[in-house]
Structure 1
Amino acid sequence: MKLFLIILIVLFTIPIFGQQNITLQECYELVTINYPLARQSQLLESQSQLNTDIISNAKLPQLSFDVQATYQSDVIEVPIPNSTIEPLNKDQYRATLSVNQLIYNGGITDAALNLETTQLKTKQKQVEVNLYQLKQKINQLYYSILLTQEKDALLNAKQKQLEAKLDEVKAGIRYGMLLPTSNKVLEAELLRINQQFIEIESNKTLLIQSLSIFIGQSLDASTTFQNPSIEIVFNTDLNRPEFELFQLKKEEISSSEALVAKNNTPKLFGFATGGYGNPGLNMLDNSFQAFYTLGVKLNWNVFDWNSNKKQRESLLMNKELVDIETETFKLNTNIELNQQQKEIEKNEAFVTSDLEIINLRKDVLKSADSQLKNGVITSSAYITELTNLFEDENTLVKHKIQLQLAKANYNVIKGQ
């Protein structure tokens, strides 16, 4: 007996723990983590770290090793008769190791590092913007699934009502109160309802699969989709990530300006070269010698035909382009907000009138139900009124879901 109870507990517990619940907010969060585009952020950070290391290497000593062997058609000779100085060999050899150390470059390296940091922030914010723009697609899929759930519930209610009515009609036929074929119409309608169940289930499965792919989370028909309560405030206060992106683009341009401005500053290097060769630094000594040189070098591009100035002017124009892009985005977003507000107001009006229509339909169906019991009308007439009520209830459900969808889209467009 105890074993039997344990088995029963396990059987009833598995579905409870196996059932999955999900909310719209969770879908938002999952898509920003699991959508393939989200992986770009980490890759961009790794790429930027490599670029930063490359730029920073400019501050480290630069080593170079050179080996050369040459044969010359002529060499330097001392034009002194009977001189004991031997002429140089025409075959000459040299191996050198050189070290160059940047001493001063006007802050170009630091400016380049700052630009790389700003570029990383801009690229990562672009990824965030692209992921944010998926929210409206999530809304569409999520509320379409909710709509199929509501339609399924309504269809279940209609099926139960028809089954109960079928039992009443069969009883009326047995007692001779109704025509013998009165039940056939109801049975045909029940078969049609089974077809509608198949269609709803097929649509729901397809929608769930699409949403599952988007958010990277395994979902199925047993998943419960919570219907969120959405509050909205009608105003034009925008909090979209695109505005942060536009600001970062301007900061990136400013960093580019700072780098360009330093390109013409003097650059001071220290260098040292050690080597071994024949001849060495003493050209008159025709033998293998070790040698070295030490020194500093200044490089200054004094005149560049105003190229630097024109580059900075071009960057200033880019800032103006970003300002125009920001203004255009704000304008288009406000237009979208206005459209969604009208959509919300329209569906609110539809829901109000739907409720009035359904109340009237219920009164008509109640009357038809009484008439069917008394044999005044046929089953077909009753089904017509029941179907009218069912269609109006479906319309109400559709308008309610469209209202919730419009509210969700309004908040997404607004940036909440």
Structure 2
Amino acid sequence: MKKQIFIAILCLMCCVLHAKAQLTIEESYQLARKNFPIIRQQDLIIKARDYSIENAAKGYLPQISILGQASYQSAVTEFNLPVSLPGVEFPTISKDQYRVYAEVNQTIYDGGMIRTQVKSHEANAVVEQQKLEVELYKLNERVNQIFFGVLMIDEQMLQNVLLKRDIQLGINKVQAQIDNGIAFKSNGNILKAELLKADQRMIDLNASRKAYLDMLGILTNQPLTDSTILVKPAALNLAGEIIRPELKLYDFQNQSLDIQSQMIQVKNRPKFNFFLQSGFGRPALNILSNSFDPYYVTGVRLTWSLSGLYTLKNDRALIRNNRESIQVQKETFLYNTSLTIKQQNAELVRLGQLLDTDNEIIVLRESIKTTAAAQLENGVINTNDYLREVNAEDQARLNKILHEIQLLMSGYNLQTTLGKPIE
């Protein structure tokens, strides 16, 4: 009973380890996105937006200013009466004057300036986030190249095992002939040399696989080893419109221009605010007093700057120009992407047709090799003839592997070009 429990636990552990050793292309996309250093820019964009919005909203708070002024003037108010009044002495105002005061302004109506500034900061943050999304999306192309590169090597390694099996079969047949004295030892050495060449190819394939896995491990920040299994994805049936993140970026940029257009209108509107000015100076509000006195003034102020009208036409023209520039960028992107899609669709058709032919070639080559193995055993052909047929079948299978992985990769490249999510 204890032995059965131990075996069950061991099997469970093996299953867990096996599950951890597998990696799908969808997981690779997600891990590469999370690991890419630029992803940290996302939090910085959000923080910058929040800080900017908070600063803009503080425009509704009272604005306090402290000012000071010292001046000297060439003339002051004087009282020159034609006759003097007994017992009455008019003060003399000093030509040097001083004033220190604080002014508080509270916005009553700003024409919608603060509200528009908040919207502008939000729109700019959305644009920056979408630019980041565009950069992150480019990672999918890298993942495709590396992931399918590993799958290609895996298939080639499996085919190399089959090749070694066929060569070993030939060695066994020739060795029997050598033992019976009806074949030369050199015939067996030819096959053994080919077997060593197949071993060398396996060494090269293992090294290439490790290099690809190392690159994928850096992209995904995962400890990928030689035992890691990349799950071969299913073929995709893709069609439809382009929904790349670049298109959203163009839309968000246009929305940002809409807010900039609102900003032009807002800054040319009149503004009202309540103000309170209080200070200490000589003279204060009473110009007949030549002493330092406190004072205050309060009221409502209207501000309407008309200087913005000078540049209003050009400001609007700039926005129109920027909008047209975005439209040109969008049309250029769609044009280039459409060309790429046509090329990729043509590649899918070509590879599909090649695969159909590959299957027929493999069937014929396998039949020829089987016949050659029987002929070698009966001494009808020599080892070179047998190797020629073995290598021909091996090349046919390698061609199928190449076309099969290329077809699969082309489908995922097309998916990346379209911007469609995996279903």
User: Contact conserved, 1:351 with 1:400, CA < 8 A, in 2?
Assistant: yes
Deviates more, 1:71-80 or 1:368-377: 71-80
CA distance in 2, matches of 1:353, 1:71: 98
238, 241, 246: which one aligns with 2:245: 241
Deviations 1:223-247 (A, max 9, x none): 1111111221444x22222222221
Deviates more, 1:148-157 or 1:313-322: 313-322
User: Contact conserved, 2:355 with 2:404, CA < 8 A, in 1?
Assistant: yes
Residues 318, 87 of structure 1: CA spacing in aligned structure 2 closer, same or farther, 3 A cutoff?
Answer: closer
TM-score, normalised on structure 2? 0.88
User: What displacement does 1:352 show?
Assistant: 1.0
Within 5 Å, give how 1:39-118 maps onto structure 2.
39-67=40-68, 70=70, 72=72, 76=76, 78=78, 83=89, 85=91, 88=94, 90=96, 94-118=99-123
Deviations 1:230-287 (A, max 9, x none): 221444x222222222211111111111111111100112211222345433344344
TM-score, normalised on structure 1? 0.90
**1:319 is aligned to 2:323:** yes
Deviations 1:307-360 (A, max 9, x none): 113211321232233223222222222211111111001001111111111111
CA distance in 2, matches of 1:74, 1:305: 38
User: In the alignment, residue 54 of structure 1 is paired with which amino acid?
Assistant: N
Residues 107, 304 of structure 1: CA spacing in aligned structure 2 closer, same or farther, 3 A cutoff?
Answer: closer
User: What displacement does 1:403 show?
Assistant: 0.5
User: What displacement does 1:39 show?
Assistant: 2.0
Deviates more, 1:117-126 or 1:304-313: 304-313
User: Contact conserved, 1:75 with 1:87, CA < 8 A, in 2?
Assistant: no
Unaligned runs of 5+ residues in structure 1 are none
Deviates more, 1:342-351 or 1:262-271: 262-271
Aligned counterpart, 2:195: 190
Counting matched residue pairs gives 412
Deviates more, 1:268-277 or 1:396-405: 268-277
User: What displacement does 1:214 show?
Assistant: 2.3
Deviates more, 1:379-388 or 1:150-159: 379-388
Aligned counterpart, 2:406: 402
Aligned counterpart, 2:39: 38
User: Contact conserved, 1:177 with 1:374, CA < 8 A, in 2?
Assistant: no
User: In the alignment, residue 351 of structure 1 is paired with which amino acid?
Assistant: L
Q: Secondary structure at the match of 1:181?
A: helix
User: Contact conserved, 1:354 with 1:392, CA < 8 A, in 2?
Assistant: yes
Q: Secondary structure at the match of 2:185?
A: coil
Aligned counterpart, 2:16: 17
Residues 115, 203 of structure 1: CA spacing in aligned structure 2 closer, same or farther, 3 A cutoff?
Answer: same
CA distance in 1, matches of 2:349, 2:379: 45
Aligned counterpart, 1:263: 267
Q: Secondary structure at the match of 2:183?
A: coil
Percent identical residues: 27
Residues 163, 2 of structure 1: CA spacing in aligned structure 2 closer, same or farther, 3 A cutoff?
Answer: farther
CA distance in 2, matches of 1:269, 1:38: 44
Q: Secondary structure at the match of 1:231?
A: coil
CA distance in 1, matches of 2:71, 2:124: 51
User: Contact conserved, 1:234 with 1:341, CA < 8 A, in 2?
Assistant: no
User: Contact conserved, 1:257 with 1:315, CA < 8 A, in 2?
Assistant: yes
Q: Secondary structure at the match of 2:222?
A: coil
- Root mean square deviation of aligned Cα: 2.7
Deviations 1:31-84 (A, max 9, x none): 22221222222211111111111211211111122356x474877474568946
